Structure 1
Amino acid sequence: MTETIRIVEVGPRDGLQNEATQVATATKIALIEQLIEAGHSTIELTSFVSPKWVPQMADAADVATRFRERTDLRLPVLVPNLQGLERALESGVREIAVFTAASDAFNRRNTNATIDESLNRFVPVLERAKSDGLRVRGYVSTVLGCPYQGEVPLAEVVRVSKALHRMGCYEISLGDTIGIGTPRKARGMLRAVADEVPLSALAVHFHDTRGQALANVFACVEAGVRVVDASVAGLGGCPYAQGASGNVATEDVVYALHGMGFNTGIDLSRLVAAGRFICHAIERRNGSKVALAWPS
């Protein structure tokens, strides 16, 4: 029986929020619809953060409301606090995501809070989410390195991941935010976290700053992970990390996984078309090598 790997498409949120070009709401919705048509079962729609800090996500309610009837899909939205959760609930969401880092230095720059302070902020968010029947996904960034403090102790990655899981996050996404990791380090990090959190509750999230993302995905898949975050056309980056390029391109991940004999449920041809659509819309170079080689 062919084994399945679930792709979490983060392009509409993690990808577009870091693009310099302001993207029209209608364009975002069209992209999400194309990703659904391509076979995605999990798509991160948007982020309910303050428009003052992330103007690209100012239309979060409009985007989320558009897909509130799609109960057949997992459509998480990012929320930073209770205020963001309240806005998300008004839009009819059924799954949220919370985010922190394994680096105090990065967390202070990103959220103006220490790791422990951010974890404490999540307690009422997860309590409210649980009472309203929402699933919660957790993100841990800088798992392989930080632009401000350099090395990140593996023990901190494990501690934060374990804390989020204990708080009620059904899945923890381990993010190499600045794309500094290599396959051996990525696999070792995953295995260390898996000693404390079930492997079935872990996902990986790699940026391709140094061209290592796909190799890192491969190493972690070989180690047993079965959920991979990726961004169509390699959209995105990290505003807090100099030189950090976009996420690993979904097209490239899907092509590799299909070549390894895994099932993703995604039609690669339609996925390539979705990537070309959004790159044309925002006048951006396509970050997927598979898309660039795909027949026109």
Structure 2
Amino acid sequence: MTVAGLPMEVAAEGLPARVRIHEVGARDGLQNEQAVVPTEIKAEFVHRLVDAGLPVVEATSFVHPKWVPQLADAERLFPLLGDLDPHRLPVLVPNDRGLDRALALGARRIAVIGSATESFAKANLNRTVDEALVMFTPVVARAKEAGVHVRGYLSMCFGDPWEGPVPVAQTVRVCRALLDMGCDELSLGDTIGVATPGHVQHLLAALNEAGVPTSKLGVHFHDTYGQALANTLAALQHGVSTVDASAGGLGGCPYAKSATGNLATEDLVWMLHGLGIETGVDLDRLTATSVWMAGVLGRPSPSRTLRALSHKE
């Protein structure tokens, strides 16, 4: 692999000066793998991602091993990351028991994950939307009492494989409930990748009208229909400055079979750097990390930027 090229920087008006990339490859990416990646490899992956300058690297999930066996090693993994700042290593917790496990290991950032639709809430959590919110309420309260930062993920914000397009008002209601229970920020998930830029901006405007500030919003796009970067740009134009991405485009969702890979971090960084937006990410190191992980997994990455840079003469 040769040294990565750099895009020509041409700034566009009205965009954030800096974007915080919320890297999800080590959790959302690896949870969808058929094979279980060894714990030591996961730890090296997280270390490499942090070394590449990613400010936030979601490390693992404290979900019951029965449901996500690929992340059953959370108790073994997190101590291997003890040399890193825990404020940069959020973990997913599904319930009170998951929170207990995370706090016992010193986690300082947690996330809960809800659904905008009843079908996915049933598939992912075996609860209704409102029952899931009731379950999360004491988790968020206890985390805040412990001084822990809480992120609220919301899946199926734009479309659902069982229900079709999701009404904007429906998504806004659940977002408002997550913020009202104490979440510090929200991540709007396009879990099956059906969003388009106009839909993105319409939802963001509706959230603002409902009293949800843009500063508390992040976006999480999947590239099923090739819209992830276009949707990201639409969110940036609205003022969003937190974007989720997965190194090498790893991931999907084990409970939504039509969910293909996440937005590749390399593709995102290439676009942001071309727009003159600061990220703090070293694209060379990030590319090398994703090439290494693709080798571990035994298959090429879907990231176009990664493929272009890793074969560049």
- Name the TM tier (shorter chain): over 0.9
Map of 2:72 onto structure 1: 58
1:102 aligns with 2:116: yes
Distance between the aligned counterparts of 1:194 and 1:55, measured in 2?
A: 38
1:43 aligns with 2:57: yes
Distance between the aligned counterparts of 1:242 and 1:54, measured in 2?
A: 15
**Contact between 1:41 and 1:74, CA under 8 Å: does it hold in 2?**
yes
SS at match of 1:21: coil
Superposed CA RMSD in Å reads: 1.4
**1:76-91 paired onto structure 2 within 5 Å:** 76-91=90-105
**Contact between 2:140 and 2:182, CA under 8 Å: does it hold in 1?**
yes
Map of 1:19 onto structure 2: 33
Shift of residue 186, structure 1, vs aligned partner: 1.4
1:116 aligns with 2:115: no
Which is bigger in relative contact order (C-alpha 8 A, separation at least 6)? 2
Give the count of matched residue pairs: 296
Shift of residue 184, structure 1, vs aligned partner: 1.1
TM-score by length of 2: 0.92
Map of 2:4 onto structure 1: none
**1:106-255 paired onto structure 2 within 5 Å:** 106-195=120-209, 196-255=211-270
Distance between the aligned counterparts of 1:61 and 1:205, measured in 2?
A: 26
1:91-124 deviation digits (Å, cap 9, x = unpaired): 1101100010100111111101011100100111
SS at match of 1:229: strand
TM-score by length of 1: 0.97
**Contact between 2:86 and 2:106, CA under 8 Å: does it hold in 1?**
no
Map of 2:6 onto structure 1: none
Letter in 2 for 1:98: V
Distance 1:81 1:295, change over 3 A: closer
Shift of residue 255, structure 1, vs aligned partner: 0.5
Q: List structure 1 segments (4+ residues) > 6 angstroms apart after TM superposition.
A: none
Q: 2:304 aligns with which of 286, 289, 293?
A: 289
Letter in 2 for 1:220: A
Distance between the aligned counterparts of 1:89 and 1:184, measured in 2?
A: 40
SS at match of 2:192: coil
Letter in 2 for 1:86: D
% identical aligned pairs: 50
SS at match of 1:140: strand
